[in-house]
């Protein structure tokens, strides 16, 4: 049901320019030059672009391809292959010329009755993401034609309401970006602190005279895998009594009701293939392939050992095994257990700050998502007195 005062339309009816790039852009790649926006620069759950993995291109003068896909302020980007429907928005005039390839659609709206940022937010909302995915032209192989992109249905409120909704959601985006910057700064500070404390370059008062040593992996750690507690990938469930921890990025990847679990905690979980390191201080079941459970020997504080392994710089061997690389490392450590604990306390304070910031970020993202579902469908209306001006 269309909310009172809203009208139904389709994206193609309000777009003045809708296109995608062509193949063959690799021929124009350069170390610097114009920006090249790809699917990897779009982020699901937000309309903000991620410029951390930009590629650059240098097009020949007068290129028709460049003229057709040159981005401008207010343009909406939509991924049309692979991970469908990720939305990006050009919030300001690009500082340099920017282009797209064949995996991204460019939607330009030159309509005085349409706020393009509102449309971008609407397309990024959960309801419209489901609609976009249902329009998949390619069946099992994800893909959207430009004709299908034009057919995406929209419900548009009056312009003052569009602008007010876009301003509200932009405020939430700025709050999220602020916390994301805080998290990035906190991670950088933690990394710098670990580099100083775990090498003895920075010492605490009262420990200046204590001895530091070098030790091999097998002098500080022991591998303590227990096969009967391991759960194969097919045994991961959404609910269960015991959490499963494996070598993947997510901390907890599933649950099981297995009666055999790993109870001799805390332990360090090391990803043999991924090099991901986790601190586990609760009963759990390890994932099977590549999940290595490690404990420290007497004289090495378990959490200190976790930080030592976390700071180890191991070469990226792809999906090969990395445990042998870890076992060949030398680790520098203080002989004093009290100094180890002091170091753990200092780094742990950074971890606590990061956890609080992460919780704050998750709350903001969740609250914004719920607000989008209400505002962008007309379930919750806004007063537009100030917006009408």
298-310 pLDDT tens trace: 999 999 999 999 9
- Over residues 235-261, the mean pLDDT reads 96
Furthest-apart CA pair in the chain: how many Å? 76
Q: 37 - beta bridge partners?
A: 100
- On the 0-12 / 13-18 / 19+ scale of CB atoms within 10 A, 108 is middle
Query: Which residues touch 17 (CB under 8 Å, ≥6 apart)?
Result: 106, 107, 108, 110
pLDDT of residue 61: 76
How confident is the model over 245-257, as a mean pLDDT?
96
Of 162, 85, 113, 167, nearest in space to 378 by CA: 162
CB 78: neighbour CB atoms within 10 A?
26
- Check: CB of residue 198 under 8 Å from CB of residue 308: yes
**Fold match between 7-156 and 211-335?**
yes
Assigned architecture for domain 7-156: Alpha-Beta Complex (3.90)
The pLDDT value recorded for residue 387 is 42
Q: Among 303, 319, 299, 320, which residue's Cα sits nearest to residue 311?
A: 303
Taking only the tens place, the pLDDT of each residue in 43-101 is: 998 999 998 888 888 888 777 777 788 899 999 999 999 889 999 999 988 778 888 98
The pLDDT value given to residue 142:
74
- Domain regions of the chain by residue span: 7-156, 211-335
| Nearest-angstrom CA–CA distance, 190 and 184 | 10
pTM for the full predicted model: 0.85
* Residue 140 scores a pLDDT above 70: no
- What DSSP element (H or E) covers 104? strand 104-108
Q: Where are the beta strands (DSSP E) in 224-290?
A: 242-245, 254-256, 267-271, 277-280, 285-286
Fold classification of 211-335 (topology level): Adenine-n6-DNA-methyltransferase TaqI; Chain A, domain 2 (3.90.220)
Measured from the Cβ of residue 143, the count of other Cβ atoms closer than 10 Å reads 14
pLDDT at position 30: 87
Edge-first strand listing for the sheet containing 277-280: 221-223, 291-296, 267-271, 277-280
Q: Is the dihedral of CA 213, 218, 222, 225 positive or negative?
A: positive
Cis peptide bond prior to 71, omega within 30° of 0? no
Helix, coil or strand: residue 319: coil
pLDDT of residue 232 exceeding 90, the answer is: yes
pLDDT at 141: 66
Give Cα 144 to chain centroid, integer Å.
Answer: 24
CA distance 200 to 198: 6
CA distance 328 to 340: 22
End-to-end CA distance of the chain: 29
Q: How many CB atoms lie within 10 A of CB 327?
A: 12
């Amino acid at each position: 049901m269309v909310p009172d005062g809203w009208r139904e339309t389709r994206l193609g009816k309000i777009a003045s320019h809708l296109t995608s790039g062509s193949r063959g852009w690799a021929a124009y790649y350069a170390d610097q030059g114009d920006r090249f926006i790809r699917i990897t620069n779009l982020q699901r759950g937000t309309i903000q672009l991620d410029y951390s993995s930009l590629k650059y291109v240098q097009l020949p003068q007068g290129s028709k391809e460049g003229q057709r896909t040159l981005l401008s302020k207010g343009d909406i980007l939509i991924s049309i292959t692979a991970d469908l429907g990720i939305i990006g928005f050009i919030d300001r005039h690009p500082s340099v010329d920017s282009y797209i390839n064949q995996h991204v659609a460019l939607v330009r709206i030159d309509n005085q009755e349409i706020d393009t940022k509102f449309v971008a937010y609407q397309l990024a909302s959960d309801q419209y993401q489901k609609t976009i995915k249902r329009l998949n032209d390619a069946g099992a192989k994800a893909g959207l034609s430009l004709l299908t992109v034009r057919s995406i249905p929209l419900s548009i409120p009056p312009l003052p309401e569009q602008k007010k909704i876009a301003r509200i959601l932009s405020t939430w985006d700025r709050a999220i970006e602020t916390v994301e910057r805080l998290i990035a700064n906190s991670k950088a500070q933690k990394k710098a602190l670990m580099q100083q404390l775990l090498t003895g370059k920075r010492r605490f008062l009262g420990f200046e005279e204590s001895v530091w040593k070098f030790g091999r992996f097998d002098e500080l750690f022991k591998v303590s895998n227990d096969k009967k507690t391991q759960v194969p990938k097919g045994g991961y469930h959404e609910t269960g009594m015991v959490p499963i921890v494996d070598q993947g990025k997510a901390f907890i990847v599933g649950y099981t009701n297995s009666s055999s679990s790993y109870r001799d905690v805390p332990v360090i979980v090391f990803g043999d293939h991924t090099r991901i390191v986790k601190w586990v201080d609760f009963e759990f079941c390890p994932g099977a392939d590549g999940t290595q459970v490690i404990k420290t020997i007497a004289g090495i504080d378990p959490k200190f050992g976790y930080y030592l392994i976390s700071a180890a710089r191991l070469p990226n061997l792809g999906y090969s095994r990395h445990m042998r690389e870890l076992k060949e490392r030398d680790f520098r450590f203080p002989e004093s257990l009290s100094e180890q604990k002091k170091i753990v306390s200092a780094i742990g304070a950074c971890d606590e700050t990061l956890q609080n910031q992460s919780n704050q970020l998750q709350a903001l993202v969740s609250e914004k998502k719920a607000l989008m579902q209400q505002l962008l469908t007309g379930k919750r209306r806004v007063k537009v007195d100030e917006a009408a001006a």
